[in-house]
Structure 1
Amino acid sequence: MRMLSAGEVDGALDDIALIDRLEAMFKAGCETPLRHHHALPEGTLLLMPAWTARHIGIKLVTVFPGNARRSLPSVLGHYMLLDGRTGQTVALLDGTMLTKRRTACASGLAARYLAPESATRLLMIGAGALAPHLIRVHAKVRPIREVAIWGRRPESAEALARELSASLPASLDRPVTVRAVTDRKAAVAEADIISCATLSKEPLVEGDWLRDGQHVDLVGAYTPEMRESDDRAVWRARVYVDTRAGALKEGGDIVQPLRNGTIDEDDVIADLFELARGQQTGRLPGDAASITLFKSVGTALEDLAAAELAVEKA
């Protein structure tokens, strides 16, 4: 059995290769039962299985909010990859890094279909652990030259901007300006792509702030009680999701406007299965008017695709 640390998982996964692998997996499909939620005395245990004829994978995630008092991460994850023919263990991978990389690349896959091809300005709302991965992936999928970062704690946004000012241009072989911003409304209006990765329960992107041609990427707010956009943003946009089964039940950005009648299920144009299979279209070439909105809540299919690629390349 192989064991891949967070650093080894990170080093093995190339963003574009992972986007390609995710696209292939969404096109082919795999078995993905509903994730298991188990309440524990001090936290939650999540089990996320997926399998094909080739491999079986399961991610185990623990969420212990009290870990902050122990100077430990609140969310920890492990991923086990098994041989689909024999059930033997192939590898044990760091699930936290695997989740960050596959989540960012799922947004990158959506951006391939939905973001304007000429997008040069990116706004990142949220300055947490996922933010640098999302920024890097969007900058690889589109010719981003300006990145603005907004965070609830300005000092966190400023620290991330300083870090990426040096590392991001080097990874892209082109100049990129990275700065922290405090005026979220103005930053939304200026951006071509707005990516959000927060745990907000109140909208951070308002529909009245949006302009024609933008792409909105909503990655946080993964429960029905959370949301990063308001009803008007969803009403104005062409709406896409990673999976209908997940986003229509779990993500508050879709669940809440469905409940209050702002949209209905037919207003969700496609998920990544339908886009990858050519059953629905994303942004058409030359479309400079549409606002596109992508809501991601994650799926075990993405974990399996990323784990297979990491083991192959490590």
Structure 2
Amino acid sequence: MQKSELAIFDSKYVRKHLDYRSCIRVVREAMAALSEGRTRQLLRTMFQMGEGRTFAQMPGALGDSDMFGAKMISVFPDPANPGSRRHRGVIAMFEPEEGKPVCIVDAEEVTHIRTAAATAMATDILARRDARRLLIMGTGGQARTHLRALPLVRNFDRIAIWGRDPAKARKLVGEFSGALPVKPAGDIAAEAANADVICTLTGASEPILHGRWLRPGCHVNIVGSSGPGPVEVDSDLVVRSRYFADSRASALDAAAEFLVAREEGLVTDDHIVAEIGEVVLGKRNGRQADDEITAYKSLGHAVQDLAAAAHLYRSSRA
């Protein structure tokens, strides 16, 4: 953090001070507040800057007498990793008394951590208590943060890592082999059929996970696709699952796999059982049976970023 009236939290500071346990708690509180109407946010606005290049803005307020601000982010191809994209940007936060800007936070690092924290929070709520086998589908930055967050909510004794590039999956296994029971995934259909929890964390444009592969009682976190178009899971999975969203309004606008299933006439808007915040608040039930397949659609929201940034700012002041 640079010493000035306007605090600057760079990526190194965020990695050091935004710990996963605290972020899971902060995101849980933020999603409950969103579902209860205590926080406000607008749907994200995006415009294209050319092929594969996007600029997005996500404003919100944590409450009428709480901090407010906006996340501004670019999603551009990553020259260092052909075929992948990076989310770079800033979160600008304002205090509620005088409306002064008080801090600027690296958005890329916050996005990585709070997304994994949100997945861990949803997994803690929806997955079976005895879940022991985890399948990570993806090998990028989100795979790494999810491997740090998810073991905080379940005691996994087997973690398989799958990637469209097997070499990247093996590399990721090597990074975590000393700390977690990780292994490269074999046949993906067999791995999915053996998993208690699955996370899709890719930029895939066509389904990489199919509903027919899933075992009863499985929980799936659908994270990689954050807008209409590219889908990571097929319509059968959507139909078979008890389907939860971080925000109903956002899911109806941008949850790609749900929109495809609805367009095919397989589900209606009522197939979204609840927002995860409604489950946190006890207003709606989460998992109702051990053999039920549950799915959580993560689109990411300004209030998650703002809550994480506000936590960093207040912690620094304390």
TM-score normalised by length of structure 2: 0.90
2:57–2:70 contact (8 Å) kept in structure 1: yes
Partner of 2:226: 222
Structure 1: gaps (5+ residues): 170-175
In the alignment, does 2:103 pair up with 1:91? yes
Q: Quick one: which of 48, 51, 60 aligns to 2:72? A: 60
Partner of 2:266: 262
- CA 1:281–1:70: 2 relative to 1, 3 Å: closer
- CA 1:189–1:70: 2 relative to 1, 3 Å: closer
User: How far 1:223 sits from its partner (Å)?
Assistant: 2.0
For the residue of structure 1 that corresponds to 2:204, the secondary structure is coil
For the residue of structure 2 that corresponds to 1:68, the secondary structure is coil
CA distance in 1, matches of 2:173, 2:96: 43
Partner of 2:3: none
Partner of 1:139: 151
Q: Quick one: which of 281, 284, 300 aligns to 1:298? A: 300
User: How far 1:303 sits from its partner (Å)?
Assistant: 0.6
CA distance in 1, matches of 2:120, 2:147: 10
> Identity of aligned pairs, percent?
32
Q: Quick one: which of 161, 179, 183 aligns to 1:179? A: 183
User: How far 1:182 sits from its partner (Å)?
Assistant: 3.6
Q: Aligned Cα RMSD in Å?
A: 1.9
User: How far 1:33 sits from its partner (Å)?
Assistant: 1.2
TM-score normalised by length of structure 1: 0.91
1:122–1:147 contact (8 Å) kept in structure 2: yes
User: How far 1:138 sits from its partner (Å)?
Assistant: 1.4
Partner of 1:46: 56
Structure 2: gaps (5+ residues): 1-5
Between 93-102 and 27-36, the greater mean CA deviation after superposition: 27-36
- CA 1:68–1:18: 2 relative to 1, 3 Å: same
In the alignment, does 2:122 pair up with 1:110? yes
Tell me the alpha carbon deviations over residues 244-275 of structure 1, each in whole angstroms, 9 at most, x when there is no partner: 11122112111110111111111111112211
Q: Quick one: which of 245, 252, 257 aligns to 1:248? A: 252
1:123–1:187 contact (8 Å) kept in structure 2: yes
2:28–2:280 contact (8 Å) kept in structure 1: yes
CA distance in 2, matches of 1:271, 1:197: 20
- CA 1:244–1:189: 2 relative to 1, 3 Å: same
Amino acid at match of 1:210: L
Tell me the alpha carbon deviations over residues 43-74 of structure 1, each in whole angstroms, 9 at most, x when there is no partner: 33211111122111211111233x62899964
User: How far 1:38 sits from its partner (Å)?
Assistant: 2.9
